[in-house]
Amino acid sequence: MGAILILVGLALVLAERMHLPLGRLPGDFSHEGKNVRVYFPLSTSLLLSGVVTLILYLLSRFRR
pLDDT tens-digit map of 16-47: 888 877 778 899 998 999 999 998 989 988 99
Q: pLDDT confidence of 8, banded at 50, 70, 90? A: confident
pTM over 0.75: no
pLDDT number for residue 43: 92
pLDDT number for residue 16: 80
Q: List b or e across 27-58, with b for residues whose CB sees 16 or more CB atoms inside 10 angstroms.
A: ebeeeeeeeeeeeebebbeeeeeeeeeeeeee
* Cα torsion through 11, 17, 18, 23, rounded to 10: 70
